[in-house]
């Protein structure tokens, strides 16, 4: 788990550092020269992910991933963070797909939150559908920043 925390931290630092750099475009260049990232999210996967999200995730992470009232960055009386929003108002987009899937599969890192592991409830495909739905909630600007970080995380 220590390795996962270090990887998350390193990926976040690298991803934020890349926010101003150009990567390989999926759809070309904007007039400003900035990479234009075309979302290639499967609409059926987004739809399936929304259904799964609404059944299993909505109660804690809120409608449309907007979270619950209160500050998700302040630990509760037990020392845990509340469930964060999953739209682009919090930090889910700071993590590569592999990390998002691992958190869903294994639950919150110890001492961080109270999210249970979903590996015995959801199939790998269902978890991937939920992550795709979550990505669909992000603004184009945030999705572009995430995409650059995701590409960096996939490099050897």
pLDDT less than 50: residues of the chain: 4-30
- Please give the model's pTM, rounded to 2 decimal places: 0.78
- The pLDDT score that the predictor gives to residue 38 is 85
Report the pLDDT value the prediction gives residue 19, as an integer from 0 to 100: 37
Q: How far is CA 80 from CA 33, 74, 75, 89, 113, in A?
A: 43, 8, 5, 20, 5
Closest CA to 129 of 66, 49, 65: 49
- Positive or negative: CA dihedral 43, 45, 46, 52: positive
Question: If 0-12 CB within 10 Å is exposed, 13-18 middle and 19+ buried, where does residue 91 land?
Answer: middle
CA–CA gap between residue 57 and residue 124 (Å, rounded)? 16
The CATH code that applies to domain 2-154 is 1.10.760.10
Say what the pLDDT of residue 5 is: 47
Q: How many C-beta atoms lie closer than 10 Å to residue 74's C-beta?
A: 8
Query: Beta-carbon neighbour count of residue 58 at 10 Å?
Result: 14
Distance, CA of 133 to CA of 49 (rounded, Å):
5
The structural domains of the chain, with segments of one domain joined by +, span 2-154
What is the spatial distance between Cα 69 and Cα 39, in angstroms, rounded to a whole number?
30
**Helices 2-18 + 140-154 axis angle, to 10:** 120
The per-residue pLDDT for 33 is 59
């Amino acid at each position: 788990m220590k390795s996962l925390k270090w990887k998350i931290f390193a990926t976040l630092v690298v991803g934020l550092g890349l926010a101003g750099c150009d990567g390989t475009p999926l759809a070309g260049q904007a007039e400003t020269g900035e990479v234009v990232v075309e979302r290639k999210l499967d609409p059926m996967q987004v739809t399936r992910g929304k259904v799964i999200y609404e059944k299993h995730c909505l109660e804690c992470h809120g409608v449309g991933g907007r979270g619950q009232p209160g500050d998700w960055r302040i630990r509760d009386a037990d020392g845990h963070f509340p469930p964060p929003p999953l739209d682009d108002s919090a930090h889910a987009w700071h993590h590569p797909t592999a990390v998002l899937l691992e958190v869903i599969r294994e639950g919150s890192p110890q001492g961080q939150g109270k999210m249970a592991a979903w590996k015995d409830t959801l199939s790998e495909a269902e978890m991937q559908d939920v992550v795709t739905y979550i990505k669909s909630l992000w603004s184009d600007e945030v999705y572009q920043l995430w995409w650059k970080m995701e590409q960096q995380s996939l490099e050897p």
